[in-house]
């Protein structure tokens, strides 16, 4: 949240906000996280709005084996990833 300055969002900061003092709930509601099929670690998958639909259709047919973090993909390609 800090990287994108979303920790300052009014819905987190204002007492009347839906996620007042609940940044974790804000993040879970606005961003998509997946478990890597290979290493089983969680990774950031983008904003919900970005992955919610492709060509207007919700994607429910995602194969778990296709969900891999950048480290595991890089390993498979023989590359390294900065940490």
Tokens standing for residue 53 = 């639909």
pTM of the model: 0.60
Q: Quick one: pLDDT at residue 83?
A: 56
Cα separation, 35 vs 42, whole angstroms = 4
Per-residue model confidence as pLDDT tens for the chain (83 residues): 888 888 899 999 999 999 999 999 998 888 888 899 999 999 988 887 755 444 444 456 678 888 999 999 999 888 876 65
Q: Alpha helix (H) ranges present in 14-79? A: 23-30, 48-51, 70-76
């Amino acid at each position: 949240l800090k990287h994108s300055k979303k920790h300052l969002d009014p819905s987190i900061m204002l007492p009347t906000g839906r996620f007042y003092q609940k940044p974790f709930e804000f993040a879970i509601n606005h961003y998509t996280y997946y478990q890597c099929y290979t290493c089983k670690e969680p990774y950031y998958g983008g904003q919900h709005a970005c992955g919610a639909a492709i060509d207007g259709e919700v994607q429910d047919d995602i194969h778990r084996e296709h969900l891999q973090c950048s480290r595991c993909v890089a390993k498979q390609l023989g590359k390294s990833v900065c940490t």
